[in-house]
Amino acid sequence: MTNPFSKLGISDDVVNAVKALGFENPTPIQEQAIPVLLEGSNDFVGLAQTGTGKTAAFGLPLLELINFKVNKPQALILCPTRELCLQIANDIRNFSKNLANAHVVAVYGGASIVQQLREIRNGVQIVVATPGRMLDIIDRKAIDFSNVNYVVLDEADEMLNMGFQEDINSILSTTPDDKKTWLFSATMPPEVRRIAKNYMENPTELTMGTKNTGNANIEHEYYVVRARDKYAALKRIVDYNPDIFGVVFCKTKMDTQDVAEHLIKDGYNADALHGDLSQQQRDKVMKRFRERSMQLLIATDVAARGIDVNDVTHVINFALPDEIESYTHRSGRTARAGKTGTSICIINSKEIGKIRQIEKIIGKKFTKAELPTGFDVCEKQLFGLIHRVHNVEVNEEQIDKYMSRINDEFADLTKEEVIKKFASLEFNRFLEYYQNAPDLNIREDEKFERNSRNGSRTFENNGGYTRLFINVGSVDDFTRGDLLGFVCNNGKISGKTIGKIDLKGVFSFVEVENSQVDTLFTNFKDVSYNGREVRIEVSGEPSTSRGSGDRRRGSGGFGSERRREGSGERRTDRRSSGRREGGNSGGGFRDFSGRKREERSGGGRREGGNDRKRRS
């Protein structure tokens, strides 16, 4: 039987490579685009979402059209971000692994230019690049594009959004006039149309789905809450979806960092991705997310562009994007490669108009959803537990030796009683936490805000230590020792007064003797590290020094904590139940979203603006 890719005109070596990647059948965009592009004689415009298989749609034809005996750049692929650049280069290397002398170079900012120049000097046929670094290399006269026959502009709308128009113009002016240009874009705003008009001659146009529409496999929902309840709403959505694997979008880098910090403090398995992080930090965060050792990625639009992680179940718009077109990109992070997904917007009542505008663009209606009540969450979590208990794999050999003792312990209980007690073990905790949780939904007829709950943050301390949160961690290349030195030097306290140091990714927790906390806060002012303001705060989590071992690891939440622990079907920390939304963390966030934001007004830079002129 002929392989479906062979039928489209792809040669055996490349077909074998994609087969090895598990591609059995072409995706719709591949099916339509490959035969057209293989002709190599036309400009091309493909309107396609991310996650549809467009890299292979242009990558496979390129491999057929390039002469690999010649060690000169023959194809240039421009894309908006470093992450996407690496992904495309990696994909094409995989597709071409059976082709002798095929060389692909990835050219992007934030990494050594020397190595990239060396690879170019050694001879490459395919250059995958972000515009800024590409232009640097062209300015150094380190590349010759006179043999380029094909230029691919991938995610063209994003490149324009990021302000790369001029860079693209300059780069294209160094390529031959008779090259063919293939443009891919998720949306077709007038600026992209203009590129197509200015740089292309009668391009073949293919539209996957309707113009500007989003992926049909995505359900769109919105929740209306008060601005100050957004964070509590976010947590409730996460709690109601214990298996969530999601991307949460914020507007500014600062909001991204704040939301991630609060989630981490509340025990969720989350981390931030934004442009203030170094490339190395971003890589580390992405690696954790890709490996699913993290459950929630909190990101800005710019940082999340081109993220190719399959199986994302939810995209949550903690803030709606300023540019409505960006919604398509955000929601496209879920429902990739034929899967389904949900895109959620948490909005206030003034933003309903924006939802209607988005509906017009994506050509799909949103469902107005109601936030689950505390009891709904309890029920969901309870039955999640019951299913896990039902399905847990029993290690017969190991458990057998304890069975007779376990049976003895339960001898006075009936089966029903045992089941009830097992279920209650978790259920009581959920109930304790959620039974007084307020209704966060705003009713249409509701004019006046209800009295807010007490917004003060409380914390416990234990064994004479206070647990402090600090927004630096292992991604800043801190070791525990470095962090100890950093805290003590800046806070002017002795290292002997430090308890446990819990080094996380972008954050850490440090325990300090209660008597030293005031001194630390008095001295720890205007501290920065690598240009980032370093903040230290009392953590919402209790300090656990003096014999409490690992109990704190259970302090977060239900589903999220399980994921963090990996296999943990059960947690031991009874204190954890009441601390996620109600008085403590919800209050903390109100503080954050109200007072702190006012202090910061104007400080939360839009990431796009900042990156606009930055060379990639």
Tokens 């380029």 locate to: 148
Question: Could you say which residues in the range 75-104 bind ligand AMP, by CB under 6 A?
Answer: none
Helix (H, G, I), strand (E, B) or coil at 411: coil
Q: What is the DSSP letter of 596?
A: I
Question: Could you say which residues in the range 314-343 bind ligand AMP, by CB under 6 A?
Answer: 336-337
CB closer to ligand AMP out of 51 and 542: 51
DSSP string, 225-254: --GGGHHHHHHHHHHH-TT--EEEE-SBHH
In sequence order, what are the residues at sequence separation of 6 or more whose Cβ sits closer than 8 angstroms to the Cβ of residue 266? 235, 540, 556, 557, 579, 580, 585
Residue 310 is a binding residue for ligand AMP (CB under 6 A): yes
| Main-chain phi, psi angles of 207, to 5 degrees | -120, 120
Instruction: Look up residue 541 and give its two tokens.
Output: 């989590």
From CA 133, how far away is CA 107, in angstroms rounded? 6
- Return the ∠ at Cα 607 (arms to 606 and 609), rounded to 5°: 70
User: If 0-12 CB within 10 Å is exposed, 13-18 middle and 19+ buried, where does residue 73 land?
Assistant: buried
Q: Which of 319, 352, 313 is nearest to 333 (CA)?
A: 313
From CA 430, how far away is CA 424, in angstroms rounded? 9
- Candidates 44, 54, 156, 536; binder of ligand AMP (CB under 6 A) is 54
Residue 27 is a binding residue for ligand AMP (CB under 6 A): yes
What is the number of H-type helices and E-type strands within the chain? Answer: 25, 20
| Main-chain phi, psi angles of 298, to 5 degrees | -100, 120
Q: C-beta of 415: minimal distance to ligand AMP in Å?
A: 47
In sequence order, what are the residues at sequence separation of 6 or more whose Cβ sits closer than 8 angstroms to the Cβ of residue 576? 267, 429, 554, 555, 556, 557, 561
CB closer to ligand AMP out of 80 and 505: 80
Q: C-beta of 367: minimal distance to ligand AMP in Å?
A: 26
Q: C-beta of 83: minimal distance to ligand AMP in Å?
A: 11
Each residue 487-506 as x (binds ligand AMP by CB under 6 A) or -, in order, gives --------------------
CB closer to ligand AMP out of 154 and 476: 154
CB closer to ligand AMP out of 31 and 351: 31
Stretch near ligand AMP under the rule CB under 6 A, chosen from 47-55, 318-326, 558-566, 599-607: 47-55
Residue 271 is a binding residue for ligand AMP (CB under 6 A): no
From CA 342, how far away is CA 176, in angstroms rounded? 44
- The torsion region of residue 115 among left (phi > 0), alpha (psi -120 to 50) and beta comes to alpha
CB closer to ligand AMP out of 188 and 224: 188
Residue 562 is a binding residue for ligand AMP (CB under 6 A): no
- Candidates 52, 125, 461, 466; binder of ligand AMP (CB under 6 A) is 52
- Candidates 50, 96, 295, 497; binder of ligand AMP (CB under 6 A) is 50
Instruction: Look up residue 62 and give its two tokens.
Output: 């390129």
CB closer to ligand AMP out of 75 and 520: 75
Q: C-beta of 486: minimal distance to ligand AMP in Å?
A: 40
Residue 308 is a binding residue for ligand AMP (CB under 6 A): yes
CB closer to ligand AMP out of 84 and 319: 84
From CA 536, how far away is CA 585, in angstroms rounded? 17
CB closer to ligand AMP out of 27 and 560: 27
Stretch near ligand AMP under the rule CB under 6 A, chosen from 48-56, 236-244, 458-466, 561-569: 48-56
Q: C-beta of 96: minimal distance to ligand AMP in Å?
A: 15
- Candidates 15, 33, 55, 524; binder of ligand AMP (CB under 6 A) is 55
Q: C-beta of 67: minimal distance to ligand AMP in Å?
A: 24
Tokens 């109990």 locate to: 551
CB closer to ligand AMP out of 52 and 269: 52
User: What is the binding site for ligand AMP (CB under 6 A)?
Assistant: 23, 26-27, 30, 50-56, 308, 310, 336-337
